Chains A and B, each alone.
Chain A
Amino acid sequence: MSLEAKIPPGPLAEKWSKHKFNLKLVNPANKRKYDVIVVGTGLAGASAAASLAELGYNVKAFCFQDSPRRAHSIAAQGGINAAKNYQNDGDSVYRLFYDTIKGGDYRAREGNVYRLAEVSVNIIDQCVAQGVPFAREYGGLLDNRSFGGSQVSRTFYARGQTGQQLLLGAYSALNRQIHKGKVKMYTRTEMLDVVTIDGHAKGIITRNLTNGQIETHTGHAVLLCTGGYGNVFYLSTNAAGSNVTAAWRAHKRGAFFANPCYTQIHPTCIPVTGDHQSKLTLMSESLRNDGRVWAPKTVEIAEKLRKKEITAAQVKEDDRDYFLERKYPSFGNLVPRDVASRNAKEMVDDGRGVGGSGFAVFLDFADAINRLGQEAVAAKYGNLFDMYYQITDEDPYKQPMRIYPAVHYTMGGLWVDYNLSTNVPGLYALGECNFSDHGANRLGASALMQGLADGYFVIPYTLGDYLATIGPKPVDASHPAFAKTKQDVLDRINSLLALNGTKTVNEYHRDLGHIMWEYCGMARTEEGLAKAKELIQALRADFWKNAKVVGANDEVNAALEKAGRVADFLELGELMVDDAKMRKESCGGHFRLESQTEEGEALRDDDNFAFVGAWEYKGDNQPEILNKEILDFEFVHLTQRSYK
């Protein structure tokens, strides 16, 4: 099948405005005749639901949490990028576009990324108008900071909780529409399937998590805003409930899944303490502005540290390897996320990891404290130091932090065209749930930007074009496709509840995580991926034989919810491995050991791999088909990234 990205022709700066003019409009009086389903209420979902309701559409919004405000966008710390150039430091829409394309290691679409940069400025205006309390200067203007290796200060922030403040803004806009009756909100409700009629998405099947009722909802269009799939690794910085189910169900109903192997592994997270651990906690990458990353020079010293025979302070300066400063003298500790993460892993693989488990390197603030004083360091990073202390019971003012990379974000997702439409007409994907704008690596402070861009400023235009085309005829809820899909969902729930083996679902999830992390994590090889595929297939087969799911459907049943999600992760994991195996080049967060430069950096293969890999589902346990969308670079020149 050919993939039509529908990027408008013409100069970059004119694509979006011309496209907006060419899109069909829905007459104001007709908008109320359309029902739109929005699944997920994070930044993308809440902003889309509110904006579409403001236009006059009837919106039904869904979230599995007890309130839309709890979606995991809430946890984003650092900030949101926008090309405002308020700092007069040379920023522009074009520069944000260029940085994002380059940061994504030339695996994103130029047209999409330019539009993202273009609407970024409107996002800040919108949020401020809603009452989002961004950080300000004494003169009353908005403050900015630099972020993620960018050479300009374009990041807007609200202390360490930018995500919460932006989400509360979108949530307040959503609340206003709920109050007006234009949005009907369904909380504690999980989408379990999408209904298609004649190839068009016409509704969803949900489970009410409070009483187990399986419900059918009709709509003229379905928007998935359901976030990323980082929890396939079991341990990640995602929320415990974050899952791939909505996107995966859509995939199995025909939507292509693009670049599933592109995952972002964030370098400054708190290391794992044991098998009981349920999640990993990220600390803002701003810590690398003043902290120095190091590991002991020899395995012997590392061994002594691991056994607590000596402390970090007792390791002489000469016995320390500040490996990022040594290998990347010009960027030092501020190399991009993927590079920092990979190097920490190398140290650990080399036997030089520290901490009880050996899976950590040091992030040392002793120099900064000597230079600036403890008070100044506390003013900058106090909340992060407190968080670290709370979790590890170690005082980072007195001894270096231990850090290790953790899965944080997934750049892959449902394939969408320029209109955010999947290849299934009427089915859209917004925010982290789609694959579109970050290529193979996402820059810091760009996830919030993309979620809100999609929801506030893209979908309100592009959805109208589709709706105008299909017309406002009501969706027929008695169409057999609804009953059929509902029955499929019930059958699946019953087969999960019938599992009465000896191993808990959580154990399968943990096992899957170990496989993914080992073979499809920071470094991937042909051989390892082949092995991972076998292991996942065996684990999945075992799950459907020996897993244990307790309770019934018609009640609150967290074990059942988890079982459905893990069953989907067990399928997605294999596709990620297939995708990683297919992509024999290294790019961004995808590092194939077979494809590296002489200095050990990621080596792209633009001749053979400058495409989006969009996978097509062909049935249970059948190999998926790869569809390629070739990436054309008209405006930027592809270069090898270097941070030496």
Chain B
Amino acid sequence: MNLTLKVWRQKDANSSGKMVTYKAENISPDMSFLEMLDVVNESLILKNDEPIHFDHDCREGICGMCSLYINGRPHGPKRAITTCQLHMRSFHDGETITIEPWRAAAFPVIKDLAVDRSAFDRIQQAGGYVSVNTGGVPDANELLIPKVIADEAFNSATCIGCGACVAACKNASAMLFVSAKVSQMAMLPQGQPERWSRVQSMVAQMDEEGFGSCTNTGACEAECPKEISLTNISRMNNDYLSAKLFREEKVHDHSGGGE
């Protein structure tokens, strides 16, 4: 296959970027999208050009590092997969493919197609955990968890933190991501003691990071590689409202009492 690529190039966070056109020649339909970019990069290096920078690691759809906005869709045209799982047979010979980074104020571009998603880490640092230290915990089977609850918590827990939901949203909202993390803990008995403070801390951090508001269009759900459902957002809204109206308690204060 021979393709034309229109790729966003941007030196660093402080420079402005632009689209640059490249040819991708002799591409095998068996290649993954990232392998196609590898081939293009090899030829750029040999021509003394700077290779196209993009994030990637596991290349099997679970680390959440790859993050390409292909022909106007996060992770490309196919449903429920990441960019690294997209194969070139999903395109046709002679096609022009547009490749951009995730676009969101909270995800500044680092270089070319790679963005800074550390906002996601900070949201989880704000409260996305159960406060237990290593050791001194009860036997794993002491607490019974109904299978349906465990399975539903697992569904929320499959989120890989790639940020496709933010990239898909016209408001660059992070609600699907945050709600998946909140829901997992809110459904499990282990998450109950901190349930109301957690949702407040995480939502507050989400707002601070500059993500947009949710208007329930559902683009996030449609583009999520792990098919995280909008139900998570309803659950989180419910908990948040409940926490704010009836159970507002001091949000986790970790500044004192450390060590």
Chain A residues close to B by CB (< 8 Å): 28, 31-32, 47, 50-51, 54, 56, 65-70, 72, 74-75, 84, 86, 122, 124-131, 133-142, 158-159, 161, 163-165, 168, 171-173, 175-176, 178-182, 185, 187, 210, 237, 239-241, 273-274, 276-279, 281, 390-391, 393, 456-457, 460, 502, 504, 506-507, 548, 550-551, 555-556, 558-559
Contact = CB atoms under 8 A, between A and B. Distances in A.
Contacts of B254: 176, 179-181
Interface in B31-77: 31-32, 34-35, 38-39, 42, 45-46, 48-51, 53, 55-60, 62-65
Contacts of B60: 75, 237, 279, 281
B125 A72 contact: no
B124 interface: yes
Listed residue (A178, A502, A556) with the most chain B CB atoms within 10 angstroms of its CB = A556
Contact of A240 (B12, B56, B117, B158): B56
Nearest to A76: B62
B121 interface: yes
Contacts of A391: 85, 87
Given A66-B117, A130-B132, A239-B59, 17 more contacts: A75-B58, A131-B129, A133-B153, A133-B154, A133-B188, A140-B145, A140-B146, A141-B144, A173-B134, A179-B125, A180-B258, A237-B60, A241-B57, A273-B28, A277-B31, A391-B87, A556-B110
B141 interface: yes
B137 A172 contact: no
A125 B62 CA distance: 25
Contacts of B137: 125-126, 128-129
B63 A136 contact: no
Given A84-B140, A239-B57, A239-B59, A129 B121 contact: no
B147 A556 contact: no
B42 A550 contact: no
A42 to B, nearest CB: 11
Interface residues of B, number: 79
Contacts of A84: 140-141
B157 A555 contact: no
A66 B42 contact: no
Contacts of B12: 555-556
A70 B65 CA distance: 7
A239 B38 CA distance: 15
A65 B57 CA distance: 8
B118 A182 contact: no
B101 interface: no
Interface string B106-127: 0000110010111011001111
Contact of B118 (A67, A138, A141): A67
Contact of A172 (B81, B110, B129): B129
Contacts of A161: 62, 158
Contacts of B34: 278
A277 B190 CA distance: 43
Nearest to B30: A273
A136 B153 CA distance: 12
Contact of B35 (A124, A172, A182, A277): A277
B249 interface: no
Contact of B48 (A50, A69, A125, A550): A550
B59 A240 contact: yes
A266 B2 CA distance: 35
Contacts of B57: 65, 70, 72, 239-241
A168 B128 CA distance: 10
A558 B87 contact: no
Contacts of B105: none
A444 B13 CA distance: 44
A128 B42 contact: no
A159 B155 CA distance: 10
B147 to A, nearest CB: 5
B206 to A, nearest CB: 15
Contacts of B124: 171-172, 175
B130 to A, nearest CB: 5
A504 B154 CA distance: 43
Nearest 9 CB-CB pairings of A with B: A140-B144, A172-B129, A129-B137, A133-B154, A556-B111, A128-B140, A51-B134, A273-B30, A70-B63
B147 A138 contact: yes
Contacts of B65: 65-66, 70
Given A172-B128, A176-B129, A276-B31, A393 B87 contact: yes
A172 B114 CA distance: 24
B243 to A, nearest CB: 18
A125 B147 contact: no
Contacts of A276: 28, 30-31, 35, 38-39
A67 B161 CA distance: 10
Nearest to A127: B140
A558 B114 CA distance: 11
Contacts of A558: 51, 53
A463 to B, nearest CB: 13
A488 B141 CA distance: 53
Contacts of B121: 67-69, 175, 185, 187
A280 B46 CA distance: 26
Interface in B136-189: 137-141, 143-147, 150-151, 153-154, 157-158, 160-161, 184-185, 188
